[in-house]
Amino acid sequence: MPKLPSPSPSQFSSRTLRSSFARSFPRKSPAPAPAPAPAPAPASAHQCIRASRFSTASAPSSRTHARIPFTISPAPARTYKTVQEARSRYRSGPFSTLAGVLFLASGAGLIFYFRYEKARMERKRVAEAAKGVGRPKVGGEFELIDQRGEAWGSEKMKGGYSLVYFGFSHCPDICPEELDKMAQMIDLVNASPLLSPSPSSADPSRGSASSSGLPPLLPLFITCDPARDTPAVLATYLSEFHPSIVGLTGTWEQIKDVCKKYRVYFSTPSGVKKGEDYLVDHSIYFYLMDPEGDFVEAIGRQHSPEAAARIILSHIGDWAREKR
C-alpha cells in the first residue's frame, strides 16, 4: 500500500480550528420569506361610496383639538390604623346617631301636626254644626241692665269672644264654685298674647279691639232670679270673684226671653211669699260666643279651669288665623 504523505503541522492546526469553530457556532439558515398576501377582491361601487363617506366624516378638522380620554379614577379606599377604629366606624350600622335623632324628631313633629289639625277641624265642625240649618239657635239679641244700673245690650258682645253664665246670687254652692272657675278662666285666657290688655275695672265693658289682637274675653253673669238680684246686689256679689264680670238683670219677662234664646232651663218655686228664701233650678253651662255673636261651644262642669281656657284659646286662635 502506498504511503500517503502526512500533513504538515501548519495544515493540521488550521483545519482543526475551523472544524471546532463550526461545531461551537453553527450557522443559522435564513428565515423563509413570508408568502405574499392575496390581492383584495375588487370592491363594488356601493362599497367604494360608503368607504369614501366614512373617510370624509371621520377625518378630523384642522380646527379641532386632540381628544383627551376622560377617565374617573376611583377614590382611594379609606384605611384604618387599628381594628378598634374600624369597628367604631361601623358600630351603628348604615345609620348614624344624628340621623336617628332627626328621624324621630321629624316623626314626632308630623304626629303633633296631624293631631293639631285633626282637633282644629273637629272644633270647626262643631262650630259650623252649631250654626247649621235645622238646629236650634243658641243666643240672640237682648236688652238688660248691668250692675251699675245702665242699659246693656247684646251688641256689646260683638267684636270679641264672650263667656256667658246663668245663675243667681243666693245660690249656696254651685254658682260660687262656677264663678271661681270663671275667674280663673278669665285670667288664663286674657294672659294670652292673642288678646289685647284687659280693660279697667271702672269700665268692664268690652270696648274696641286693639291692633295687637282681639279684645279680652268678656265674662257675663245673667241672673235667673231678677226678683232678688238687683243691680246693687249683683255689684256686691260679683266683686268677690272678678272685677271684669258684667252682671245683668232685668224684668221677669226680659230674663225669661234671654234664657229661652240661650236654651237655658230655669225654674222658680211658686207660692213663695216675700222675704222667704228659695232656690232656683237652672242649667250649669258656660256659653262661648264668637266675635260675630254666634254660639261656639258649651263648657260644662267636667272641665277644669285650665282645660276650659285651652278650649277657649283654641277657638280664638282658629278665628284669628282664618281672619288673616
- Confirm if 287 and 262 have CB atoms less than 8 A apart: yes
Instruction: Count structural domains, the chain.
Output: 2
Q: Which among 200, 167, 199, 189 is positioned nearest to 279, based on CA atoms?
A: 167
315 is in an annotated binding site: no
Is the domain of 167 the same as that of 280? yes
CA-wise closest residue to 144 among 285, 11, 290, 261: 261
Q: What is the DSSP letter of 270?
A: S
CATH assignment of the domain containing 218? 3.40.30.10
Residue 113 structural domain: 98-135
Predicted confidence at residue 315, as pLDDT, reads 92
Does the annotation list 48 as a binding residue? Answer: no
- Whether 51 maps to a domain, the answer reads no
Say yes or no: 212 and 289 in one domain.
yes
Domain co-membership, 125 together with 162: no
| pTM given for the model | 0.59
User: Which residue is associated with the grid cell 282645660?
Assistant: 307
175 is annotated as contributing to ligand binding = yes
Residue 173 shares a structural domain with residue 301: yes
Give tens-digit pLDDT for 213-256.
689 999 999 999 999 999 999 999 999 999 999 999 999 999 99
Q: What is the pLDDT of residue 134?
A: 44
DSSP 124-156: HHHHHHHTSTTSPP-----EEEETTS-EEEGGG
In a domain, 245, yes or no: yes
pLDDT in tens, 129-167: 555 544 568 999 999 999 999 999 999 999 999 999 999
Instruction: Please count the other Cβ atoms lying within 10 Å of the Cβ belonging to residue 212.
Output: 10
Residue in this structure with the C-alpha cell 232656683, named with its chain if needed: 280
Domain match, 121 and 202 both: no
